[in-house]
Structure 1
Amino acid sequence: MAAFKLIVLLGIFCCSSFVHGQTTHELYERMIDDIWSSSDDNDDGIFSQFELIKTFSGYDTNGDGTITRHEYVNHVQVPSEHVHRYLHALFDIFDVNGDHHFNHHDYHGLYTKMDKDCDGIVTKADFYKFWHEVLHKTSHIHHNGLYLHN
């Protein structure tokens, strides 16, 4: 269940040991290393659809099979407005069909987005490419990781 917890907690954990002078790439690599190590539950080098679904199950607070934006963003109480905005941006990325709800349709779509080489399997390399894209796409919100520092 710890898998992808760091997606929400990314803003909290990623820079807890932030070292000034790191390049953005180095910072992102550290962040993605932490996400990967908590996401590949069975350490087989593959992030499975089961691991993805399992990851998000804790966010569905009312148990209806759908994660609303409210459930996702409020899963973790974060005092930072930048992290709050970042969580909204992540939800928009995860909500593949744009209906403001994250459910089984989005799981499949998100997994497909993560599968960068389109072979049906999200390898560690695919996972890293996906997260680099996400972090770069949202860098205007977190200022290359600076505002994800808690």
Structure 2
Amino acid sequence: MAFQGVVQLRTYTTVTMLGLLLVFLGIVGYGAPATTTLSPVDKFKSIVNAEVDALWNSVDHDSSGNLEESDLENIFDQYDDNNDKQISQTEFLTHFVGHQQNLDIIAQGLYYELDMDNDSEITGSDLQRYFEKIDTNDDNSIEKPEFETFFRDTLTLLFVLQYEGHLTSPMPTHT
């Protein structure tokens, strides 16, 4: 019973923080041209959708509309600067964030999510397990709708965490 109360409190806190983020985005007009009259929720959705689209375009190397093993290999090779068959947090953050420091916390959260075995390195095995997690129809290919659904949810949570400024250590995300 106490566990249920903790879960309800955490859910309430997350929903409250998301609400505050949406209000903040509405006040500063983040992500939308000044001439539009989008609601704060629509502005937030627009930001997340734009990030998901950019992420998809960066990983679908052959523009096939699906992510396959070859796409994973390309991603891994791009991020593994020292060719040690592992992607360190530094390598990942350098490539993912680039010169956009506003993505730092989001990149950290995504790194922790991709490190499926929590050993502080992303390996080919981690990427394979992550691929299987996103491939919800188990056809050995990640279609764009699968990718969008998964990353829309993931990036929404990471944006909230970035706004809260609380993502400083790995969070347990796997069982």
User: Same fold by TM-score, threshold 0.5 exceeded?
Assistant: yes
The equivalent residue for 1:127 is 147
Q: Contact (CA 8 Å) 2:109, 2:158: kept in 1 or not? A: yes
Q: TM-score scaled by structure 2?
A: 0.63
Q: Distance in 1 between matches of 2:98 and 2:153?
A: 26
Question: Could you say which structure has the higher helix fraction?
Answer: 2
Does 1:18 find its partner at 2:3? no
| Secondary structure in 2 matching 1:67 | coil
Task: Give the fraction of aligned pairs with identical amino acids, expressed as a percent.
Answer: 21
Q: Distance in 1 between matches of 2:127 and 2:152?
A: 19
Q: Distance in 2 between matches of 1:77 and 1:35?
A: 13
Q: Distance in 2 between matches of 1:126 and 1:79?
A: 26
| Secondary structure in 2 matching 1:138 | helix
Q: CA deviation at 1:32?
A: 1.7
Q: CA deviation at 1:77?
A: 4.9
Q: CA deviation at 1:33?
A: 1.9
Q: Which residue, out of 94, 99, 108, partners 2:119?
A: 99
Unaligned runs of 5+ in 1: 1-16, 144-150
| Secondary structure in 2 matching 1:96 | coil
Structure 1 stretch 47-56 or stretch 25-34: which is displaced more?
25-34
Q: Distance in 1 between matches of 2:98 and 2:61?
A: 25
The 1:74–1:41 alpha-carbon spacing in structure 2 relative to 1, beyond 3 Å, is closer
Unaligned runs of 5+ in 2: 1-29, 164-175
Residues paired across the two proteins, number: 127
The 1:133–1:116 alpha-carbon spacing in structure 2 relative to 1, beyond 3 Å, is farther
The equivalent residue for 1:139 is 159
Q: Distance in 1 between matches of 2:100 and 2:56?
A: 25
Q: Distance in 2 between matches of 1:62 and 1:46?
A: 28
Q: Deviations over 1:43-98 (max 9, x none)?
A: 22211121022113122121111111122123455473x52222211100111111
Does 1:36 find its partner at 2:49? no
